[in-house]
């Protein structure tokens, strides 16, 4: 009952739009995920109000797209019962922070941004590379070296799941004046979730991601490994894994349209740079959220 294609027709944590999936059948639509708020700042998620269940109230004028795409603002009352099924949207990222003592320095072209001097950590590589220019963020579109998403729905009659992976562009600049030398985006060939077990009570996905700087031949790889568990019976979502000492890592989840909730956040080990990628993931990275 699994679905490993990069879409999940029955999930409720996004909205669909037409005209963005060329050469696909007419019933295949692009599914987008976008957070929203009402005029009072209460949070929600954009859904198609004609086909999606809202655990709260639909509000118009707060989402992009056609009129049926509306903001489902969650009812904050603890007395609202949970549904018998669980829909989760999970994402995990590896990113280079804006500031790392002894690792990043100001980019000469824009001092509000930083770059990493690869030559300091890997002398045979040379060159400098822009950071992701941020700290921890639960924005699922925030820049990252590696970004993976999983959608899982578990209900009384079975389960479905889907996945997506991508890397943001890498920019190489001159260390002296910061001028851009090259840009390239790494493929996501070595990033994947895989089904370990699934039932109407519990779905377990193995996860492995390993990608390197696309502008540096034979560069060390950033590694993330672990297991994502969605437990409908005991009402929790958990990730249990390991990551490298560099760079920073984060994982979040939305549950039944609520959230995002932080699963785990871990900055780079103090004083280390890209050379710490040698040897594979060795730091525990784990967290659990109950719903």
DSSP 216-266: STTPPEEEEEEEEEEETTTTEEEEEEEE-SSSEEEEEEEETTEEEEEEEEE
Q: Is the pLDDT assigned to residue 279 strictly greater than 90?
A: no
Query: 190 burial class (0-12, 13-18, 19+ CB within 10 angstroms)?
Result: middle
pLDDT at 22: 62
Please report, rounded to a whole number, the percentage of residues in the chain having pLDDT higher than 70: 84
The reply to whether 68 and 101 lie within a common domain is no
Q: Answer yes or no: is pLDDT of 57 > 60.
A: yes
Q: What is the pLDDT of residue 124?
A: 57
Residue 82: how many other CB atoms lie within 10 Å = 13
Count of domains observed in the chain:
2
> Are both 260 and 216 inside the same structural domain?
yes
Average pLDDT over residues 161-171: 96
Quote the pTM value.
Answer: 0.74
Above 90 in pLDDT, residue 121? no
pLDDT of 14? 65
Evaluate whether residue 113 is within a structural domain: yes
Tell which wins on pLDDT, 74 or 86: 86
Domain endpoint, select from 74, 94, 110 = 74
Query: Which domain, by its residues, includes 135?
Result: 86-290
b/e map 223-257, b = 16+ CB within 10 Å:
bbbbebbbbbeeeebbbbbbbbbbbbbbbbbbbbb
Any domain includes 60: yes
Nearest Cα neighbor of 185 from 202, 204, 165 is: 165
Q: What is the mean pLDDT of the chain?
A: 85
Residue 148 covered by a domain = yes
Residues 92 and 57 in one domain: no
Q: Which residue has the higher pLDDT, 78 or 9?
A: 78
Say what the pLDDT of residue 41 is.
73
13, 86 Cβ separation under 8 angstroms: no
Q: Are residues 172 and 221 in the same domain?
A: yes
Give the rounded percent of residues in the chain with a pLDDT score beyond 90.
60
Q: Is residue 80 part of a domain?
A: no
- Residues 65 and 144 placed together within one structural domain of the fold: no
Model confidence at 235: pLDDT above 60:
yes
Structural domain includes residue 146: yes
**110, 46: one domain:** no
Q: Would 107 be classed as within a structural domain? A: yes
Q: What is the pLDDT of residue 113?
A: 97
């Amino acid at each position: 009952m699994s679905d490993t294609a990069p879409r999940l027709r029955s999930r409720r944590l996004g909205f669909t739009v037409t005209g963005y999936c060329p050469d696909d059948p007419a019933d295949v639509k692009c599914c987008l995920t976008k957070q929203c708020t009402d005029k009072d700042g209460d949070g929600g998620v954009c859904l198609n109000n004609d086909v999606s269940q809202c655990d709260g109230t639909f509000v118009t004028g707060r989402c992009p797209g056609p009129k049926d795409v509306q903001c489902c603002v969650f009812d904050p009352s603890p007395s609202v019962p949970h549904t018998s099924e669980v829909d989760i949207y999970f994402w995990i990222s590896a990113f280079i922070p804006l500031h790392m003592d002894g690792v990043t320095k100001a980019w000469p072209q824009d001092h509000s941004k930083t770059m990493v001097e690869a030559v300091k950590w890997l002398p045979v590589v040379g060159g400098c590379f822009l950071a992701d220019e941020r700290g921890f963020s639960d924005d699922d579109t925030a820049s990252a070296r590696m970004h993976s998403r999983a959608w899982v729905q578990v209900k009384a009659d079975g389960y479905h799941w889907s996945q997506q992976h991508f890397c943001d562009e890498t920019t190489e600049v001159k260390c002296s004046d910061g001028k851009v030398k090259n840009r390239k985006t790494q493929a996501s060939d070595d990033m994947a979730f895989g089904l370990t077990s699934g039932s109407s009570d519990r779905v377990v996905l193995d996860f492995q991601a390993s990608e390197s700087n696309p502008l540096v031949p034979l560069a060390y790889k950033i590694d993330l490994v672990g297991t994502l568990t969605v437990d409908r019976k005991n009402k929790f979502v958990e990730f249990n894994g390991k990551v490298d000492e560099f760079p920073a890592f984060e994982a979040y989840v939305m549950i039944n349209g609520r959230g995002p909730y932080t699963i785990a956040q871990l900055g780079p080990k103090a004083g280390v740079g890209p050379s710490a990628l040698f040897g594979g993931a060795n730091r525990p990275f784990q967290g659990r959220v109950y719903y």
